Amino acid sequence: MRQNISISLDIQTLESIEKNRRLITVSRFIEECVLEFLDKKGEGFSHPKGKNPTTTRIKRGSNNA
């Protein structure tokens, strides 16, 4: 079951996250949300295999969320 996700981060929150060295995790989460949103609109894109190994897409219906 899909749910809409609203993301709101202020500067203080980002600074706190950065200090805890979790900014990469948050940026990947935001990237996945944006890519999923674009997929829903039919404007999604994917990187050619091997070109950007740090960016992985979660396939629809997979259990590795």
**Residue 47 half-sphere exposure toward CB, CA atoms < 13 A:** 11
CA atoms within 13 A on the CB side of 30: 10
pLDDT, tens digit only, all 65 positions of the chain? 677 777 777 888 777 766 766 566 777 888 888 888 877 776 555 555 555 445 455 555 544 44
Q: Tell me, yes or no, if the pTM score tops 0.75.
A: no
Buried b or exposed e, range 15-49, using 16+ CB within 10 angstroms: eebeeeeeeeebeeeeebeebbeeeeeeeeeeeee
What is the pLDDT, as a whole number, of residue 64? 47
